[in-house]
Structure 1
Amino acid sequence: MIVTITPNPSLDRTYELGTLVPGEVNRASHDRLDPGGKGVNVSRALTAAGHRTSAVLPLGGLSGQLLSDLLRRQGIDVAAVAISGDTRINVSIAEDGGSLTKINAVGPELSAAESAALLALVRDAQKTGRGTGFDVQWLACCGSLPRGLAPEWYAEVVAQVHSGGARIALDTSGPALLAALSARPDVVKPNREELAEAVGRPVRTVGDAVDAAGELRERGAQQVLASLGADGMLLVAEESWYGTAPVAAVRSDVGAGDASLAGFLGAGGTGPEALVAALAHGAAAVQLPGSVMPTPAHLDPAAVVVTADIPLDRPLRG
């Protein structure tokens, strides 16, 4: 079993239209409402791929209740802390040309009691299934921290998870990522911008990304799974690999990185085979609407190319 932890979940409303015209009335051709938040998306992708998962998250208000209902309808176990604030609602506008405009709400502020309850729920979730054939192998902490949780909160989770014998993946950024590195998370999953922010310098080439990932390892991360957008992904550990996957057309990149992490963890969470799975999941996700997560039928791992001969001088787009 893989447990996900999403401290700042959301409902994600996506509108698809031809071209967004600011200041005018725009009519969508399609729209959808999905459960959101990075860890929630990882659980959704794992479920779509046939893995057992449980989502740990704080929920409040009518939006929180709807989020819980949507997850349960998708067959995801939900372990929730009731909070006084309302779960946030995010909006994405996807244009036909591939442009995506996102408006992310700040989300509720958690009290000290709610923060402690969430940490306790993580501890309880780690024990779930022991002796039933569904032992927890990975816990994935994903997304931004809500107001009320200190940057060190994830570091405390990492230490707690390791003391219970499980492995932990961390997908966050900024002070929360830096504070957690010394606790030695088993894998961290930054994108190019988050890598650059973490090391305080631009990441313009694949080699720059390798160097930045190596610095995160020096600070404590055991593996770095770095997303480089259209330029592929890196896995930097004791050995390193670089991979790419073809994409015919990008429809929406909402949740694509989360799908990649789900593929990586579902394939064991280490080595080139897990990187292949990550790339196949990410490539499939960007070709689907909104934050729809790919099923095995959407995946094309045979089209993925992974190599240990990393093209260090290759410039990154954008």
Structure 2
Amino acid sequence: MIVTVTPNPSLDRTYEVPSLERGDVIRATGERVDPGGKGVNVSRAVAAAGRRTVAVLPLGGAPGALVAELLDAQGIEVARVPVAGATRSNIALAEADGVLTKINAPGPELSPAEQELLLETVREQSGDADWIACCGSLPRGLTPSWYADLVARAHAAGARIALDTSGPALLSALRERPDVVKPNAEELAEAVGRNLSTVGDALKAAEELRARGAGAVLASLGADGQLLVDAEGAWFADARVDVVRSNVGAGDASLAGFLIAGGSGPRALASAVAHGAAAVRLPGSVMPTPADLAPAAVTVATEVPTDRELTEPVS
């Protein structure tokens, strides 16, 4: 069973549009409303794979009630933490050529009592969990050290932690030695404070995060593939994707695939890449089912191609 924690969940509206022209009236060709937030997406992907998951969420107002209703319809258990502020609503505009424009609201501010209740709810849910996936940005009111506190409490309860966040929250949490961290290329570059131009640059950055406390680093390099670095070594994997429909939630699907497959080693990396590649072929933030996966299209290399230049270098 996989528990997910999303401190700043959302109600996500995705509109498919031919193209964006500033100042014009644009007619959408498709529309979706989904429960959102990185941890929510991980739970949705886990549930789509037929596995049990519990989503720990601070929810408030009508948007929060709709998030819980949508998750319940998908067979996802919700451990709801009531908050006074309304859950945020986000908008994504997906163009026909695959370009995505997102407008993310800040979300409610959590009081000290609500913050403590959220931590306590995670502790209560951690007893039967194989993994706890802590994902996304922190809402107003939570300091960057909040994830570090969560990791410490979860470890004290004997749970394994996968952390997908960025900036000061990621750096602060490293001191509590999360079992897995999952940065994308931009987050990895930000964490080490330097540019990434090659896969080798990403490998060195991942090794630096391990030296700071991460047990393993699962780094998403976008269209270039994914990199896994842990105590046993390093692996690189990629999969060809001919048509990208939407990359919303693709990284979350990858993390779900990684954890579903055990959360360590090249087999889990291959599962992560297969789930991420399937997700970008689907509309909005739809999570892939086993029928959407193409595991034979994934290539895993034990020798990391350090000289390969990144399609989109990060500066």
Structure 1 residue 175 corresponds to structure 2 residue 168: yes
Matched ranges for 1:135-174 at <5 A: 135-174=128-167
Cα distance in 2, alignment partners of residues 53 and 20 from structure 1: 37
The equivalent residue for 1:235 is 228
**Corresponding residue of 2:240:** 246
Which of 219, 230, 233 does residue 212 from structure 2 map onto?
219
Name the CA distance, whole Å, in 2 between partners of 1:216 and 1:309: 20
SS at match of 1:204: strand
2:123 alignment partner in structure 1? 123
- Aligned partner of 1:309 in structure 2 is 303
Measured in 1, the distance between the counterparts of 2:97 and 2:245 equals 8
| 2:40 counterpart of 1:40 | yes
Using the aligned pairs only, state the percent identity. Answer: 67
Matching residue of 2:190:
197
C-alpha displacement of 1:17 = 1.2
Residue matched to 1:291:
285
- The one-letter code matched in structure 2 to 1:10 is S
TM-score w.r.t. the length of structure 1 is 0.97
Q: Which has the higher strand share?
A: 2
Structure 1 SS opposite 2:176: coil
Letter paired with 2:167? G
d(CA) in 1 for partners of 2:179 and 2:101? 33
**Is 1:102 the counterpart of 2:102 in the alignment?**
yes
Give, as a single letter, the amino acid of the residue that structure 2 aligns with 1:78. Answer: V
2:41 maps to a residue whose letter is N
| 2:12 maps to amino acid | D
Following superposition, the deviation at residue 24 of structure 1 comes to: 0.9
One-letter amino acid of the counterpart of residue 218, structure 2:
L
Listed as ranges, the gaps of 5+ residues in structure 2 are: none
What's the offset of the Cα at 1:109? 0.5
- What is the TM-score with the length of structure 2 in the denominator? 0.98
CA distance in 1: counterparts of 2:97 and 2:126, whole angstroms? 43
Q: Deviations over 1:143-166 (max 9, x none)?
A: 000011111110111111111111
Partner of 1:114: 114
Amino acid at match of 1:313: D
The RMSD of aligned alpha carbons is: 0.5
**Cα separation, 2, equivalents of 1:193 and 1:115:** 28
Residue 126 of structure 1 and its aligned partner are, at CA, apart by 0.9
Tell me the SS of whatever aligns to 2:219: strand
Regions of 4+ moved over 6 Å:
none
**For 1:182, what is the secondary structure of its paired residue?**
helix
Match of residue 264 from structure 1 = 258
| CA deviation profile, 1:242-281 (whole Å, cap 9, x unmatched) | 0001111100000000000000000000000000000000
Q: How far apart are the structure 1 equivalents of 2:35 and 2:244?
A: 21
Code of the aligned partner of 1:295: T
Q: How does 1:32-111 map to 2 (within 5 A)?
A: 32-111=32-111
